[in-house]
Amino acid sequence: MTTPATGPVPPPVTARPARSHRALVAGSVGNFIEWYEFGVYGYFATVIAAHFFTPEGGSEVEGLVKTYASFALAFFFRPVGAALFGRLGDRIGRRPTLILVICLMTAATTLIGALPTYASIGAAAPWLLTLLRILQGLSAGGEFGGAVSVMTEFAPPGRRGLYGAWQSFTVALGLLAGAGAAALLATVLTESQLNGWGWRVPFLLTLPLGLVALWLRLRLDETPAFASAVVGRNAPVRRPPAGETVRAVALGAGRLMGWSAAGYTFLVVLPSYLQSTLNATFQQALVATALANLGFAASILPAGAVSDRIGRRAVMLSGALLVAVLALPLLNLVQDPGTPAWAKGAALFGAGAAVGLMAGPGPAMLAEMFPTTVRYTGLGLAYALSNAVFSGCAGLIITQVVERTGNADVPAHYAAAACAVSVAALLTLRADDHHRALR
């Protein structure tokens, strides 16, 4: 099911290969930075809790819950950013909007690395951190819609799934880079150095990364689809009725909720869960997360490419069903002290790979739901709403429910339930959507 077309559909506009490849890199780099930072924040959640949310005499669990609340708050500002920047992107263009987004994202993330802690400035520290998280949420909300619009609108015929999958692939690369930076610092620094100043380094590294991304986006051309439908128009833009767009956004969020919930459960929340619930060391938790992220990264691009051949529905349904059925058995393998290390590693790798089956075709699936004149806004809102509810709250919900119930299986139940709902929404996809031209 997609939003019905309104008005005459212009013929598809294709781009030269060099421009398509440049767009792929420029679109991907912002996602890499965004998810690198979100991964770092998740991996250092216990350290951040101690510095910003746990005054002397405070509970460690309470501090961790507050850290995840700040994490969730940033996600709830994503829909605001998606609406704000999406409207700009659908009116003035993808290129200028993505330039603005990368500047805001880079500034907010770099400032986190320089922020004074609770011990230095007292209660102002968590408020300042939360403000920066809000700015990150706004920029992240504007990033996805623009990046996916650029990638899919520049994609050659029959390759939208593969091009869109690069958005998800750079998410995996960003999370892996964050895990790698955290693991490297945990290895070369003492615990006191890591807790004292080492945690700041990954955030400060965002500055040079952001400058590279800015340079790439300054060299980016406007997409052919936007130029054809909006910039060169001689008549007023025909936009679909607001009700149709709202319904498409809600349906898109439902199709993504399994990816959002399972992705954050297995790829970001896992380190703190393993430390607080299973008493794993920081290094063990990072290794486990790296394995899950490697499985995620390994399946994304093949899933996107296969979806160009057999359709988005078949591939995404496979991933959602696998998580719904196997989440609990896989988590039980990880929990069992008698399970060999190789089996635990395989379970984590497999869980990540199943999420990748949803993440690979997901961006192209969303792009195909909306016409050019509302694509940036529509797909950005669908993704942001799904992430706000099912990703941003994952750490908060899992930590609180595990603490209150003592049930260590909560992460699996959470991911499986979300994927079960996604299955119903994904069944409404038409089997031939991948063959249709973008509207």
Condensed to tens digits (0 to 9), the pLDDT of residues 172-206 reads 888 788 878 888 888 888 878 888 888 889 889 99
Q: Is residue 85 part of a domain?
A: yes
Closest CA to 343 of 267, 291, 302: 291
Rounded CA separation 372/190 (Å): 52
| Predicted pLDDT of residue 363 | 94
**Arithmetic mean of pLDDT, 213-239:** 75
Rounded CA separation 234/376 (Å): 22
Residue 276 has pLDDT above 90, yes or no: no
Q: Is residue 23 part of a domain?
A: yes
Q: Is residue 236 part of a domain?
A: no
Residue 258 has pLDDT above 50, yes or no: yes
| Predicted pLDDT of residue 96 | 92
Least confident of 170-174, 214-218, 300-304: 170-174
Closest CA to 96 of 227, 230, 210, 221: 221
CATH code at 423?
A: 1.20.1250.20
Provide DSSP, 297-350. Answer: HHHHHHHHHHHHHH-HHHHHHHHHHHHHHHHHHHHHHHH-TTS-HHHHHHHHHH
Neighbours of 36 (CB within 10 A): 27
For residue range 324-374, what is the model confidence (pLDDT) as tens digits? 999 888 888 877 778 787 887 888 899 999 999 999 999 999 999 999 889
Q: Is residue 163 part of a domain?
A: yes
Q: Is residue 297 part of a domain?
A: yes
CB 434, CB 313: distance < 8 Å: no
Rounded CA separation 99/106 (Å): 11
- Token pair recorded at residue 38: 């979100």
**What is the overall mean pLDDT for the chain?**
83
Q: Is residue 235 part of a domain?
A: no
State how many domains the chain has. 1
Residue 272 has pLDDT above 50, yes or no: yes
CB 136, CB 105: distance < 8 Å: yes
| Residue owning tokens 């008549």 | 235
- The separation between the first and the last C-alpha atoms of the chain, rounded to the nearest angstrom, is 14
Query: What residues make up the domain containing 49?
Result: 17-230+242-435
Question: Given pLDDT bands bounded at 50, 70 and 90, which one contains residue 319?
Answer: very high
Q: Is residue 5 part of a domain?
A: no
Provide DSSP, 200-266. Answer: HHHHHTHHHHHHHHHHHHHTPPPPHHHIIIIIT-SS------HHHHHHHHHHHHHHHHHHHHHHHII
Residue 2 has pLDDT above 50, yes or no: no
| Predicted pLDDT of residue 289 | 78
Least confident of 11-15, 37-41, 256-260, 370-374: 11-15
Q: Is residue 316 part of a domain?
A: yes
